[in-house]
Structure 1
Amino acid sequence: MGVSTNGNRVDSFTTTIKFQAEIAMPPLEIHKVRLPPERTTLQKLRHRLSEIFFPDDPLHRFKNQTWLMKIYLGLQYLFPIFQWAPEYHPTLLRSDIISGLTIASLAIPQGISYAKLANLPPIIGLYSSFVPALIYSLLGSSRHLAVGPVSIASLVMGSMLSESVSYNQDPILYLKLAFTATFFAGLFQSSLGILRLGFVIDFLSKATLVGFMAGAAIIVSLQQLKGLLGIVHFTGKMQIIPVMVSVFKHRDEWSWHTILLGISFLAFLLIARQISLRKPKLFWVSAAAPLASVILSTILVSCLRNKTHTIAIIGELPKGLNPPSSNMLYFNGPYLALAIKTGLVTGILSLTEGIAVGRTFAALRNYQVDGNKEMIAIGVMNIAGSCSSCYVTTGSFSRSAVNYNAGARTAVSNIIMASAVLVTLLFLMPLFYYTPNVVLAAIIITAVIGLIDYQAAYKLWKVDKLDFLACLCSFFGVLFISVPLGLGIAVAISVFKILLHVSRPNTLVLGNIPGTTIFHNLNQYREALRMPSFLILAVESPIYFANATYLQERILRWVREEEERVEANKESTLRCIILDMTAVTAIDTSGIDTLCELRRMLDKRSLQLVLANPVGNVIEKLHHSNILDSFGLKGVYLTVGEAVADISSHWKAQA
C-alpha cells in the first residue's frame, strides 16, 4: 500500500483484493493514503493561529459588506448593546424593571456583606454594585448576568491582602492595595480577551474548583463566627485550626444577644433558601430574604439599642456617588508585587465564575455568549471600578439566578439594579446605621453554603478518581494551608493531570468484530477476536517528546506479552504489528524518531511495523521527514481492516 502524492511525490499502485480472513471479515477494497494539499509555511502558520485564537471566525460577518455596514457591525461587535437596543420595545421593559429591582434587593445586603468579607468598608460593596453594572450593560454579551461583588473573590482578596497589611492598622494602604489589585485584575482580564487567550482560565478544572469552593465556603462560614458570637478580638488567619482556636479562646467575649439574633436570622435565611430550592416559582422568597433580614434586624436593634450595647452595628455610612480613586492606585512601593499577585488570582477566579455563569444561562435561553467579549467587558468594568472606589466584581451566580427567574430579558436589568443602588447611595444610607454585623454574617453564611457541592464531589469519585484526588487536595489545601496556596495546589494538580495524560497515554489491543471490518478494544468488546499473526495496537494520544520514550517501551512490552501468549497457546507466530493512529492528532520530531527506532528494533526481530490511518497533519510530517520511504509500499494503510486484508493476502501469495 502506498501514499498518493502530488507533483514530485511518489505515486504508488492501488490494488483491489477480495480476501476473507480466517476470522470472518467481508472483502475490502484497498484505498490510497493521501497527503493533504500542499501549503506554504505562511499558510500553515496563518491556519494554525486562526485555529488557536479565532475558532469562531469573528470577522466572517464583515465579508461582502459596505463600509457603512462594516462600521455598524464593528460597533455591534465592540458594544453588544447596539445588537439588542434597536429591537428593544416597552413590552420588555416591565420584565427588566421587575428583575432589576429584585436583584437590587439582593445586591444591596450582599454588597455590604461581601465588602466586610474582603475586610473593606461596607460602602465599598455598594459602590461596587453601581459602576460595574452600568459598564457591563454596555459591553457584556449576556442578557442574564447580574454583576457585582462575589464571595470567592472577596474572600481571596481579603485573605491575601490581610497576610501583609491590616485594614485596622493602616486603612489607607489597604484601600490602595485593594483598588490596585482590582486594576490589575481588570487589566489581566481584558488583555486575555483582546489577545484571545481565554484558554488560560481552563487550567482551573471543574474538579479543582469544586474542592476549592467547598473549602473556601467552610473557611468563610467559620470566619463569620466572629459576627455570630459577638467576638471582638478575632484571628486574622484563614486556616481552620487558628480560626477554631480563636473561637474557643475568646469564649468570654461571646454575647448571648448576638448569638440569639444571629441564629434566628440564619434559620430564617436557610428556610427561605430551601423554599426557593424546592419550589423554583418561589425564587423571590430567597431573593427578598436578605433585604428583609437587614430591614427587620435594623428596626429591632434600633428599638432595643438602649437595652443592649453588645450587638455590634455597621454605624455611619457616607452618602453620595462613588468618589474617584484613581489617585489611590499603588504603582510604586514594597507592596506592588502583593497587589499584582492578588489581582491575578482574583481576576482568574472572578473571570472563571463570570463566564461560567453567563454561559449557563445563555444555554437555557438558546443564545450565544462570546467568551472573549465577556473577558473584555469584565476587565474594563474592573479597570473603571478601580478608579471609582470599587473592588473586584464579576457575574454572580446567586444574583444571575434570581435575575433569570425574575424574567430578565436584556442587560437593562443591570441598569435598573444600578439605579436602585444609586438611590440607596444618595438617600438611604442613614437607614443602615443600626444594621447589626451579625445579620451580615448570616447572609454570607447562607450565600456560601451553596458553594459546597457534595453531589459533584461524589460524581467525581464515581467517574474519575484522579479528579476526585485533585478535588480533595484543593479542599484540604484551602482548609489547612491558605486560600491562595490552596488555589495554587489546585492549579498544580490540574497541570500535573494534563502532563500525566500527555506523558502516559493509553495504548489498547484491538480485535475484529466478527462479520465486520470494525476493530475495537478487546477488553471493551468481548466478542472482538484477535487476528492470527497480527498485534493491532491503538495509540490514544498525540506522540510528543514527552511520551515518545514511554510509547516505545510500552509497545515493545505489548509485543513481548503477545509473543508469550502466542507461544503458550500454540497459535500462529506473530509477524506484524499494526499501529492504529486514528487518535494520534499530532506528532513531533521526537515522535517520528521513535517510530523509526521502533521499526528498526522490530525489523531485527523479523516483525513488520505498519501504520494505519495517520491523519493529515501526521502523514504530512511523516512525508517531509522521509520516514514513509523506509516503511515502504506495505507500511501505511487507510484503515486497520485494509491493512489486515492486504498483508494477509500478500502472505498467502508468498506461501
Structure 2
Amino acid sequence: MSNRITDALPVTDMELPADAHSHEHPENLPYVHKVGVPPKQNLFTEFKTTFKETFMHDDPLRSFKDQSNSKKLLLGLQAVFPILDWGRSYSLSKFRGDLIAGLTIASLCIPQDIGYSKLANLAPQYGLYSSFVPPLIYAAMGSSRDIAIGPVAVVSLLLGTLIQDEFDPVKQKLDYQRLAFTATFFAGLTQFALGFFRLGFLIDFLSHAAVVGFMGGTAITIALQQLKGLLGIKKFTKKTDIVSVMRSVWTSVHHGWNWETVVIGVAFLAFLLLAKYIGKKNKKLFWVSAIAPLISVIISTFFVYITHAEKKGVQIVNKIEKGINPSSVHEIFFTGENLGKGFRIGVVAGMIALTEAVAIARTFAAMKDYHIDGNREMVALGTMNVIGSMTSCYVATGSFSRSAVNYMAGCNTAVSNIVMSLVVLLTLEVITPLFKYTPNAILASIIISAVVGLIDINAMLLIWKIDKFDFIACMGAFFGVVFVSVEIGLLIAVAISFAKILLQVTRPRTAVLGKVPRTNVYRNIQQYPEAAKVPGILIVRVDSAIYFSNSNYIRERILRWLSDEEEQLKENGELKSKIHYLIVEMSPVTDIDTSGIHALEELHNSLRKRDIQLVLANPGPVVADKLHASDFTSLIGEDNIFLTVADAVITFAPKMQP
C-alpha cells in the first residue's frame, strides 16, 4: 500500500468496460486511485489526538492560547462564572425584560413549589427553599438564558417514591429529610463530575423515545397521586401504580371523599386548564396561564378562611416555616449505611434532573440561536445542588413549564432567575403565614394542570411512524411507570435503550450495491431497484465499525449474501456468471479492531476456497492504518484495495470478458 495520500494510475482504453470508453484525449481517461495510509504518529501524539477527539472535541482551551497570565485568569473566571462575561454588556433595556419574566415565573413557581414539596413528602417550605438558593447559583454559573430553575414534578415524585422505601415520611420525618438532603448532595456531585470530567455523553444513552415514555408515564402517575388532595381522601395508598391508586380511590368513595374539597378542586382545575388553553392558543396571552395558579391560591385561600371550610373536612396546608434557608450541612449522611442509600437515590435523581435540564436548555438555545456548553451546564447544575443540599434544598433542575413562560415573557438573561429568587425570598420572609389556609385541593389542581403538558401524544405518534423499536422503548417506559413504579419504568427505559444500542452494534446493517444507470455511483439495490448488479462481481457495503462484538456476524452475513447470490444465479440458469470478485465497500467502517481484522482474514480464506478474490474499497484512514499494520494488505494484495467501488469495477470487469 502506498504511503502517499493517493497514487493515480492511468487505465488504458483496452482495460475499460464498454460504457467507460473515452474517445477523446488521453488526459480524459479515468484513473484508478490507490488508497493511501496516513503518516504514522508516535504513541503519545496518537493518544493525545484520540483523547482530544473523544473528550475535548470542542477544544475548551482554545481561547487561552497566546494570552497573558492576567487575561488567562479573567478567561478562566468567565469560564466558571459566565455572568462575568455577559454581565459587562448588561443594560437597563435587558433588565426590563428580565424583571417582567422573573416576576411572571415567580407567580407560577411559588404555588408549584409548595405542591411539588408535597410530592417529595417534604414540608412546603422546602419547595420554596429550592427556588431561592439554586437559581442564584445557576444564574452565575449557567450558560442558558432561558431556563428557569427550581423543583420539578418528575424529580419530586421520584425522590418521594425512592426515599419513602427507606423511611416513613411521617413517623421518621427527620431521617427522611436527612436522606433527601443526602440524595440531593450526591445528585449534585454526580452532575458536577459528569461535567467536570466531560462525560456528559452518558446521559445520551437514555434515548429520546424512552424519555418521552418515561415523562408521559410519570405525568399520569403524578396526576393520579393528586387524587388524594383533589378528593379530600385521608387514607391513601403509598404505592404509585395505577391499580393500587384506583383501588384506594374507589374503596373510599362512600366514606373518604369530601364533597367541599371536590368542588374546590374540580372548579379550580377547570379554571387552570382553561387558562392553559388560552395561553397556548394565543401566545400573547401566555401571562394568563402563568398567573392562574397564584390567582387560584389567593381566591381559594380567602374562600376557605372566611368560610372556615377546614372545619368541614377541607384539608389545608397549615403552617409554613417563615424565614430563609437554614443550614443543613450537619443533616447530610456522610457515614453509615444511609450514605449508600443517599448515593444510590442521588445518582438516579441527578441523572433524570440532568437529562431534563439539558434537553430544555438545548431546546430554547436552538430557538434563540445561541450556544449551550453542555459540560458547563452540568457543572453549574451540580454546584447548585451540592450547595442546595447544604441549605435545606432538595434536587432542583430546569422546569419546562416555567422555562416556557420565562421565554415567552421576554427574558434576556439569567437575571430573570435572580428576580424570581428574590421574590421567593420575600415570600419566605413575609408572605408564608398567608398560605396557612390554602387548601390541598388547589395544590393538587395546580400540579395536575402542570403535568398535563408532559404527556406528548404527538411525539409518541411520530416515534411510531419513524422507528418501531423506539416506540417499544417509549411504551415500555410508559407502562412500566404507570403499572409498576417510577423506578421500574426508569429501569425499563434504560434497559431498552441499552438493548437498542447493543442490537445496532452487534447486528449492523449490510447491503448489496448495484450501479445506478448512466452514473459511476453504486447504491443499495433495495433503495434503488433500478441499480444493476455487475456480472461476476458481488458488491457489499458494511454500515458499521467492525469490532469483536459484530465481526463474526459481518463475516457470516457477507458469506450469506454470497450464497444467496450464487443460488439466484443457479435458479436463473446463469451458471457461467459465477462470482469471481467480492468487493466490500468500507467507507462507513469508521474503525476496526483485531477481531475485525481476524474476521476479514477468515473471510479471505473462505473466499479463496471458492476461487473468489476479496477486494476492499475506500477504507478510512484509521482502518487503512490498521490493515497495513496487521499485514492484511499483503495477504490480499495491495492491488486489491481501491479508493472507490467504481475503480475496482473498472479494473476487474474487463478481466471477466470472454
Length-normalised TM-score, structure 2: 0.96
Say how many residue pairs are matched: 648
Report if aligned partners of 1:17, 1:29 keep a CA contact under 8 Å in 2.
no
Counterpart code for 1:14: L
Are 2:385 and 1:387 equivalent residues in the alignment? Answer: no
Counterpart code for 1:612: A
Report if aligned partners of 1:23, 1:514 keep a CA contact under 8 Å in 2.
no
The secondary structure found in structure 1 opposite 2:514 is strand
Match runs of 1:246-645 below 5 Å: 246-251=248-253, 252-305=255-308, 308-571=311-574, 572-645=577-650
Mapped to 2, the partners of 1:476 and 1:25 lie a distance apart of 63
Give the counterpart of 1:5 among 3, 6, 9. 3
Are 2:16 and 1:14 equivalent residues in the alignment? Answer: no
Mapped to 2, the partners of 1:13 and 1:126 lie a distance apart of 71
Mapped to 2, the partners of 1:554 and 1:4 lie a distance apart of 30
Mapped to 2, the partners of 1:15 and 1:23 lie a distance apart of 17
Match runs of 1:55-74 below 5 Å: 55-74=57-76
What residue is the counterpart of 1:34 in the other structure? 36
Deviation digits for residues 139-181 of structure 1 (CA, Å, limit 9, x no counterpart): 0011111100011110100011112211111110000000000
Quote how far apart the aligned CAs of 1:14 are. 3.0
Give the counterpart of 1:134 among 133, 136, 157. 136
Report if aligned partners of 2:357, 2:397 keep a CA contact under 8 Å in 1.
yes
Mapped to 2, the partners of 1:283 and 1:183 lie a distance apart of 35
What residue is the counterpart of 2:101 in the other structure? 99
The secondary structure found in structure 2 opposite 1:45 is helix
Mapped to 1, the partners of 2:284 and 2:19 lie a distance apart of 61
The secondary structure found in structure 2 opposite 1:84 is helix
Deviation digits for residues 356-404 of structure 1 (CA, Å, limit 9, x no counterpart): 1111111111111100110000000000000000000011111111111
Mapped to 2, the partners of 1:219 and 1:72 lie a distance apart of 48
* Structure 1 stretch displaced more, 619-628 or 161-170: 161-170
Give the counterpart of 2:198 among 196, 199, 202. 196
Report if aligned partners of 1:12, 1:633 keep a CA contact under 8 Å in 2.
no
Report if aligned partners of 2:219, 2:452 keep a CA contact under 8 Å in 1.
yes
Quote how far apart the aligned CAs of 1:569 are. 2.0
Mapped to 1, the partners of 2:631 and 2:350 lie a distance apart of 48
Mapped to 2, the partners of 1:16 and 1:321 lie a distance apart of 83
Report if aligned partners of 2:515, 2:532 keep a CA contact under 8 Å in 1.
yes
Give the counterpart of 1:238 among 237, 240, 262. 240
Identity of aligned residues (%): 50
Quote how far apart the aligned CAs of 1:331 are. 2.2
* Structure 1 stretch displaced more, 500-509 or 60-69: 60-69
Task: Pick closer, same or farther for the CA change 1:339–1:581 going to 2, 3 Å.
Answer: same
Mapped to 1, the partners of 2:424 and 2:609 lie a distance apart of 79
Counterpart code for 2:188: G
The secondary structure found in structure 2 opposite 1:120 is coil
Quote how far apart the aligned CAs of 1:64 are. 1.6
Report if aligned partners of 1:599, 1:608 keep a CA contact under 8 Å in 2.
yes
Match runs of 1:185-224 below 5 Å: 185-224=187-226
Length-normalised TM-score, structure 1: 0.97
Quote how far apart the aligned CAs of 1:348 are. 0.3
What residue is the counterpart of 2:25 in the other structure? none
Mapped to 1, the partners of 2:309 and 2:585 lie a distance apart of 82
Mapped to 2, the partners of 1:633 and 1:231 lie a distance apart of 79
Mapped to 1, the partners of 2:527 and 2:19 lie a distance apart of 19
Mapped to 2, the partners of 1:230 and 1:140 lie a distance apart of 41
The secondary structure found in structure 1 opposite 2:547 is coil
Mapped to 1, the partners of 2:121 and 2:21 lie a distance apart of 72
Deviation digits for residues 172-216 of structure 1 (CA, Å, limit 9, x no counterpart): 000000000000000000011110000111111101111111111
* Structure 1 stretch displaced more, 383-392 or 11-20: 11-20
What residue is the counterpart of 1:51 in the other structure? 53
Report if aligned partners of 2:8, 2:32 keep a CA contact under 8 Å in 1.
no
Counterpart code for 1:648: A
* Structure 1 stretch displaced more, 13-22 or 44-53: 13-22
Counterpart code for 1:148: G
Deviation digits for residues 422-442 of structure 1 (CA, Å, limit 9, x no counterpart): 000001011101000000000
What residue is the counterpart of 2:26 in the other structure? none
Quote how far apart the aligned CAs of 1:642 are. 0.3
Counterpart code for 2:315: A
Q: Mark the runs of 5 or more structure 1 residues left unpaired by the alignment.
A: none
Deviation digits for residues 11-40 of structure 1 (CA, Å, limit 9, x no counterpart): 988343445435678863111210112101
The secondary structure found in structure 2 opposite 1:166 is coil
Q: Mark the runs of 5 or more structure 2 residues left unpaired by the alignment.
A: 23-28
Quote how far apart the aligned CAs of 1:335 are. 2.8
Counterpart code for 1:124: Y
User: RMSD over aligned Cα, in angstroms?
Assistant: 1.5
* Structure 1 stretch displaced more, 24-33 or 429-438: 24-33
Report if aligned partners of 1:28, 1:645 keep a CA contact under 8 Å in 2.
no
Report if aligned partners of 2:304, 2:310 keep a CA contact under 8 Å in 1.
no
The secondary structure found in structure 2 opposite 1:505 is coil
Task: Pick closer, same or farther for the CA change 1:25–1:344 going to 2, 3 Å.
Answer: farther
Quote how far apart the aligned CAs of 1:500 are. 0.1
Report if aligned partners of 2:290, 2:405 keep a CA contact under 8 Å in 1.
yes
Quote how far apart the aligned CAs of 1:307 are. 8.1
Quote how far apart the aligned CAs of 1:332 are. 2.5
Report if aligned partners of 1:522, 1:528 keep a CA contact under 8 Å in 2.
yes
